């Protein structure tokens, strides 16, 4: 295990060797997080995957050209230029397939990915045999060479990541429109094709600089995972983008630091795993859209619905015994409740248990049930809401009395006090003023 | 060019593998899941690594099972994240396969001292070497038998469950209401893709797999709107790509004064060229035909407006 002092040194960027790597991956994470948000909302997350594969032929061909012109062929700007050109060619092929055939995005992406990558592999192999050239090391374009990053690499990443982030903030409004309603954007006169190209151009730029720094798989993960994780926390674009950038940055920073502290852990892979863990946490626990909070909310709603059904059923039983109008709280037999709704024996038992815990039930004789004071009041209120809503539906939504029970059931459980008050005002004219109005349809 | 029985076997192995991929690929394309092949081919890495770490050998059978399980898990995790997390399926796929690949990479790196497992080898394969590894005295390459087996299995499953697959591909909800579980069909298809991918991996590399899962079916989709015809056209295109690709690998580098190149890459390129031809000249959907048709339509309209009708 590394010592604490060592950990602090790396995490706080005091160590020169790791500083470049950690800063580069952090910046890359931020830029990719921002752009990835648009890709996710445009349902094109795998675009980074396709484009990163599409850069390979450019690398090989640029290498071949530079060797032919004399030289080692390993000039980074030249290779990056080649990668960018073939990435853009892949991008246009993709858009062309999508716009001129009935094949979908996924096919277009898969086509570009596999065919371009095939061309890349074939031409790399051909280039290997060029006289006087050693193409060894070109494959770091696929797997990355994070550990051996130098200052010029860092500067390149910083500049491109900065420009990409700036452009995505400047075009925020346009991209927002493009992501959520491209048909409307086109109808409003926005150049949607140009915007698409601009967005994917940004993806290509980030992919190309990321590729040689950290490798193919990491850059794909950077474009997808932070944005998807951020999506669980918010419904608004700007917070989502900022959060996504933060998650990307933190993954890059933590992942590169962990990798620097542990022998034999490739930085790219660790960063992917950090981002994936953040994604998993978000997916499970984010309050707005996470899985567990959502299940909890569903459970709460179901319990609320069950409780209201139980109370209304009890009230209606009392009403049947005593006639509609003036109902008083008396014990009633448990089987009557069972026959009221299609509850299974087990469901009814758990509903009654909850009702006892909430003080809605009082002890009564064997086989008998009796509502408590508060339970009876609540039952009258719930029944009244149900009937107000039913009456409203019958008068104003023209729903047949024989069907209204089911329809009312869909909404009544979420009626708030204001809505109930409005209903009361509405129905004043219909002379519904009794504490609990009679049911507008026969209660069985 | 100097064609030997060696070259014939390379083409045969390539074609068997290509057709084995193209068949399930048709359903992937129809179900809008083309990228699944790419995802699975990356995600099998931890399966290979675990199989190796457990058994300690590079024997094919454990590796095969490890990879197939990893492939099916990819499909399963993707489905879960997409459904429970309400996430776009492409994004879910991307997260799953990058994570699995990263896990595999770390495992291999950690065990690097005593493991001879090169991720590059998994990605590129060595189609040219397959004829060297023959079964017994027969002279038939092992890869031909493995890929032929995968092809046969896929063909059988598709023939037996043809109408279920068709229904599942076009209307999953209807399949469910009629009592064929579209979930079951989905996972069966994923298993087929995973097993085919793994079978092809060792011998020919993942580029052919990814390309053949997508490109021949996409080509066929431009030429027909009938599923049986699509399957047949995709198979023919796939086999033709293997032949053209290998011939290309022998000839094309000569034009630039270089040695022969990898057949896998050239097979992918050949498939791309066949796709482009269909894209341009398909009698129903081709760009050229569409242009001609719109001109034919434009002339009478123009004449009529000239005549003032």
Per-residue pLDDT of chain B (309 residues; tens, 9 = 90+): 677 888 888 899 899 999 999 999 999 999 888 888 888 888 888 888 888 888 876 666 787 788 888 888 998 899 899 988 889 888 999 999 999 988 988 888 777 655 555 555 555 566 777 777 777 777 788 888 888 988 999 999 999 999 888 888 888 888 888 887 888 888 888 888 888 888 887 777 777 888 999 999 999 999 999 999 999 999 999 999 999 998 988 888 777 767 667 788 889 999 999 999 999 998 888 888 888 888 888 877 777 777 765
Sign of the CA dihedral with B78 first, then B84, B85, and B88 last: positive
CA distance A253 to A399: 60
Q: With beta carbons less than 8 A apart as the criterion, state whether B106 and A265 touch.
A: yes
- Model confidence pLDDT, tens digit, residues A136-154: 556 555 556 666 677 777 8
Res A36 pLDDT > 90: yes
Residue B141 has φ and ψ, to the nearest 5°, of -65, 145
How far apart, in Å, are the Cα atoms of A33 and each of A115, A285, A433, B12, B297? Answer: 28, 20, 59, 45, 48
CA distance A298 to A290: 12
Give B-chain residues touching A146 at CB under 8 angstroms.
none
Residue A362 has φ and ψ, to the nearest 5°, of -115, 155
By C-alpha distance, the chain A residue nearest B266 is A122
Give B-chain residues touching A223 at CB under 8 angstroms.
94
Closest CA to B42 of B20, B17, B67: B67
Taking an 8 Å cut-off on Cβ atoms, the answer to whether B98 and A272 are in contact is yes
How far apart, in Å, are the Cα atoms of B14 and each of A324, A371, B22, B126, B245? Answer: 82, 77, 12, 11, 9
Query: Could you tell me if residue B135 is left (phi over 0), alpha (psi between -120 and 50 degrees) or otherwise beta?
Result: beta
Q: How confident is the model at residue A130 (pLDDT cuts 50, 70, 90)?
A: low
A-B CB pairs within 8 A amount to 196
Give B-chain residues touching A120 at CB under 8 angstroms.
265
- Give pLDDT, residue A341: 79
CA A64, distance to chain mean position in Å, is 43
Please tell me which of the candidates B29, B102, B207 has its beta carbon nearest to residue A114.
B207
Q: With beta carbons less than 8 A apart as the criterion, state whether A368 and A334 touch.
A: yes
CB atoms within 10 A of CB B253: 19
A361 forms beta bridges with A371
Q: How confident is the model at residue A156 (pLDDT cuts 50, 70, 90)?
A: confident
- Give pLDDT, residue A145: 61
Q: With beta carbons less than 8 A apart as the criterion, state whether B41 and B209 touch.
A: yes
CA distance B286 to B223: 9
Distance from CA of A232 to the nearest CA of B (A): 8
Taking an 8 Å cut-off on Cβ atoms, the answer to whether B222 and A125 are in contact is no
Residue B60 has φ and ψ, to the nearest 5°, of -70, -40
Distance from CA of B293 to the nearest CA of A (A): 15
Q: Tell which of A54, A102, A121 to mutate to test the B interface (max B CBs under 10 Å).
A: A121
- Model confidence pLDDT, tens digit, residues A182-240: 889 889 888 988 888 888 888 888 888 887 777 777 888 999 999 999 999 998 989 99
Place of tokens 């300690």: B56
Residue A371 has φ and ψ, to the nearest 5°, of -70, 150
- Give pLDDT, residue A225: 95
Q: Does A415 touch chain B (CB under 8 A)?
A: no
3-state SS of chain A is CCCHHHHHHHHCCCCHHHHHHHHHHHHHHHHHHHHHHHHHHCCCCCHHHHHHHHCHHHHHHHHHHHHHCCCCCCCHHHHHHHHHHHHHHHHHHHHHHHHHCCCCHHHHHHHHHHHHHHHHHHHHHHHHCCCCCCCCCCCHHHHCCHHHCCHHHHHHHHHHHHHHHHHHHHCHHHHHHHHHCHHHHHHCCCCHHHHHHHHHHHHHHHHHHHHHHHCHHHHHHHHHHHHHHHHCCCCCHHHHHHHHHHHHHHHHHHHHHHHHHCCCCCHHHHHHHHHHHHHHHHHHHCCCCCHHHHHHHHHHHHHHHHHHHHHHHHHHHHHHHHCCCCCCCCCEEHHHHHCCCCCCHHHHHHHHHHHHHCCCEECCCCCEEEECHHHHHHHHHHHHHHHHHHHHHHHHCCCCCCCHHHHHHHHHCCCCHHHHHHHHHHHHCCCCCCCCCCCCCCCC
Please tell me which of the candidates A104, A126, A272 has its beta carbon nearest to residue B32.
A104
Instruction: Name every residue whose Cβ is closer than 8 Å to that of residue B167 and which is 6 or more positions away in sequence.
Output: B174, B175, B178, B180
Give A-chain residues touching B256 at CB under 8 angstroms.
126
Taking an 8 Å cut-off on Cβ atoms, the answer to whether B42 and A217 are in contact is yes
Q: Which of residues 54-83 of B touch A (CB under 8 A)?
A: 81
Distance from CA of B263 to the nearest CA of A (A): 7
Q: Which two tokens stand for residue B126?
A: 């060595």
CA distance B208 to B211: 5
Q: Which helix (H) or strand (E) holds B191?
A: helix B182-204
- Give pLDDT, residue A137: 59
Give A-chain residues touching B213 at CB under 8 angstroms.
110
Res A397 pLDDT > 80: no
Closest CA to B204 of B4, B17, B8, B11: B17
- Give pLDDT, residue B123: 53
Q: Which structural domain range is residue B131 located in?
A: 5-306
Region A307-314 average pLDDT: 87
- Give pLDDT, residue A224: 93
DSSP 8-class letter at B181: -
Q: How confident is the model at residue A281 (pLDDT cuts 50, 70, 90)?
A: very high
CA distance B218 to A298: 42
How far apart, in Å, are the Cα atoms of A147 and each of A83, B106, B146? Answer: 22, 15, 40
Closest CA to A409 of A435, A385, A426: A385
CA distance B115 to B52: 8
Region A75-104 average pLDDT: 86
- Give pLDDT, residue B23: 94
- Model confidence pLDDT, tens digit, residues A41-69: 988 888 888 888 888 888 888 888 888 78
Taking an 8 Å cut-off on Cβ atoms, the answer to whether B266 and A122 are in contact is yes
> What total of structural domains would you count in chain B?
1
Q: Does B109 touch chain A (CB under 8 A)?
A: yes
- Give pLDDT, residue A143: 58
Better pLDDT: A181 or B232: B232
Taking an 8 Å cut-off on Cβ atoms, the answer to whether A270 and B106 are in contact is yes
Q: Which of A247-256, A261-270, B213-222, B240-249 has the weakest average pLDDT?
A: A261-270
Res A434 pLDDT > 70: no
Better pLDDT: A133 or A238: A238
- Give pLDDT, residue A325: 66
Region A28-35 average pLDDT: 93
CA distance A420 to A389: 8
Closest CA to B88 of A399, A440, A135, A225: A225
Give A-chain residues touching B279 at CB under 8 angstroms.
97, 100-101
Query: ipTM value of the model?
Result: 0.88
By C-alpha distance, the chain A residue nearest B210 is A114
Better pLDDT: A280 or A407: A280
CB atoms within 10 A of CB B234: 28
The CATH number of the domain where B51 resides is what? Answer: 1.10.3470.10
Q: Which domains does chain A have, with CATH numbers?
A: 4-288 (1.10.3470.10), 294-428 (1.10.10.10)
- Give pLDDT, residue B22: 94
CA distance A30 to A28: 5
What's the mean pLDDT when you consider all of chain A? 83
Q: What percent of chain A has pLDDT over 70?
A: 88
Q: With beta carbons less than 8 A apart as the criterion, state whether B96 and B74 touch.
A: yes
**Sheet architecture: strand order including A368-371:** A332-333, A368-371, A361-362
Burial pattern A385-410, b for ≥16 Cβ within 10 A else e, equals bbbbbbbbbbeeeebeeeebbebbbe
Region A75-92 average pLDDT: 84
Q: Which of residues 263-292 of B touch A (CB under 8 A)?
A: 264-269, 271-272, 275, 279, 285, 287
Q: With beta carbons less than 8 A apart as the criterion, state whether A387 and A433 touch.
A: no
- Give pLDDT, residue B227: 93
Region A154-181 average pLDDT: 90
Please tell me which of the candidates A107, A130, A289 has its beta carbon nearest to residue B29.
A107
Res A431 pLDDT > 60: no
Taking an 8 Å cut-off on Cβ atoms, the answer to whether A101 and B222 are in contact is yes
DSSP 8-class letter at B285: T
A370 forms beta bridges with A362
CA distance A245 to A30: 4
């Amino acid at each position: 295990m590394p010592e604490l002092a060592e950990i602090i040194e790396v995490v706080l960027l005091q160590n020169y060797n790791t500083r470049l790597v950690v800063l580069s991956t952090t910046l890359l994470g931020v830029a990719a997080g921002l752009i990835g948000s648009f890709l996710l909302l445009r349902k094109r997350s795998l675009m980074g995957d396709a484009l990163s594969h599409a850069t390979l032929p450019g690398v090989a061909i640029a290498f071949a050209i530079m060797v032919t012109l004399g030289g080692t062929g390993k000039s980074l700007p030249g290779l990056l230029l080649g990668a960018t050109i073939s990435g853009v060619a892949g991008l246009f092929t993709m858009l062309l397939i999508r716009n001129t055939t009935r094949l979908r995005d996924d096919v277009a992406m898969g086509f570009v990915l596999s065919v371009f990558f095939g061309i890349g592999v074939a031409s790399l192999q051909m280039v290997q045999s060029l006289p006087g050239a050693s193409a060894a090391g070109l494959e770091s374009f696929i797997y990355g060479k994070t550990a051996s990053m130098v200052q010029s690499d860092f500067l390149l990443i910083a500049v491109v990541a900065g420009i990409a982030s700036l452009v995505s903030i400047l075009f925020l409004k346009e991209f927002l429109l493009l992501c959520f309603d491209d048909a409307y954007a086109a109808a409003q006169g926005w150049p949607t094709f140009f915007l698409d190209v601009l967005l994917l151009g940004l993806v290509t730029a980030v992919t190309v600089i990321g590729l040689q720094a950290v490798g193919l798989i990491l850059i794909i993960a950077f474009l997808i995972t932070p944005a998807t994780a951020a999506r669980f926390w918010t419904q608004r674009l700007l917070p989502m983008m900022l959060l996504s950038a933060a998650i990307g940055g933190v993954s890059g920073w933590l992942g590169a630091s962990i990798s620097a502290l542990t022998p034999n852990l490739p930085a790219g892979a660790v960063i992917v795993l950090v981002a994936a863990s953040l994604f998993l946490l978000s997916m499970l626990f984010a309050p707005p859209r996470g899985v567990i909070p959502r299940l909890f909310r569903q459970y709460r709603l179901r319990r609320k619905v069950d409780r209201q059904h139980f109370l209304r059923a009890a009230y209606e039983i009392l009403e049947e015994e005593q006639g509609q109008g003036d109902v008083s709280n008396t014990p009633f037999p448990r089987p009557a409740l069972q026959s009221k709704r299609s509850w299974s024996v087990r469901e009814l038992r758990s509903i009654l248990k909850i009702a006892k815990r909430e003080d809605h039930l009082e002890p009564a004789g064997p086989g008998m049930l009796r509502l408590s004071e508060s339970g009876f009041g609540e039952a009258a209120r719930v029944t009244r809401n149900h009937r107000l809503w039913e009456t409203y539906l019958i008068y104003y939504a023209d729903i047949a009395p024989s069907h209204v029970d089911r329809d009312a059931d869909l909404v009544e459980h979420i009626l708030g006090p204001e809505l109930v008050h409005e209903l009361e005002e509405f129905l004043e004219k219909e002379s519904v003023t009794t504490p609990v109005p009679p049911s507008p349809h026969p209660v069985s | 060019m100097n064609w030997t029985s060696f070259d014939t076997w390379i083409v045969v192995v390539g074609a068997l593998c290509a057709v084995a991929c193209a068949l399930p690929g048709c359903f992937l394309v129809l179900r809008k899941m083309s990228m699944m092949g790419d995802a699975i081919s990356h995600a099998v890495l931890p399966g290979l690594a675990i199989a190796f770490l457990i058994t300690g050998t590079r024997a094919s059978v454990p590796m095969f099972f490890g990879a197939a399980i990893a492939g099916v898990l990819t499909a399963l995790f993707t489905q879960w994240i997409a459904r429970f997390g309400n996430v776009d399926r492409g994004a879910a796929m991307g997260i799953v396969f990058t994570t699995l690949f990263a896990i595999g990479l770390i495992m291999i790196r950690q065990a690097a001292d005593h493991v001879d497992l090169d991720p590059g080898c998994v990605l590129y394969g060595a189609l040219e070497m397959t004829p060297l590894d023959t079964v017994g005295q027969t002279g038939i390459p092992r890869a031909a038998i493995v890929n032929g087996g995968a092809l046969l299995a896929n063909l059988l499953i598709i023939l037996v469950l043809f109408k279920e697959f068709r229904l599942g591909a076009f209307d999953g909800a209807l399949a469910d209401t009629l009592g064929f579980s579209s979930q079951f069909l989905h996972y069966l298809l994923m298993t087929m893709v995973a097993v085919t991918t793994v079978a092809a991996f060792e011998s020919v590399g993942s580029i052919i797999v990814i390309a053949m899962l997508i490109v021949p079916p996409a080509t066929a989709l431009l030429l027909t709107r009938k599923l049986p015809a699509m399957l047949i056209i995709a198979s023919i295109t796939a086999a033709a790509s293997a032949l053209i690709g290998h011939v290309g690998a022998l000839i094309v580098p000569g034009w630039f004064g270089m040695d022969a190149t990898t057949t896998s890459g050239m097979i992918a390129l050949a498939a791309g060229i066949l796709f482009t031809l269909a894209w341009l000249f398909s009698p129903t959907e081709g760009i050229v035909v569409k242009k001609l048709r719109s001109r034919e339509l434009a002339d009478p309209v123009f004449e009529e407006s000239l005549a003032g009708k």
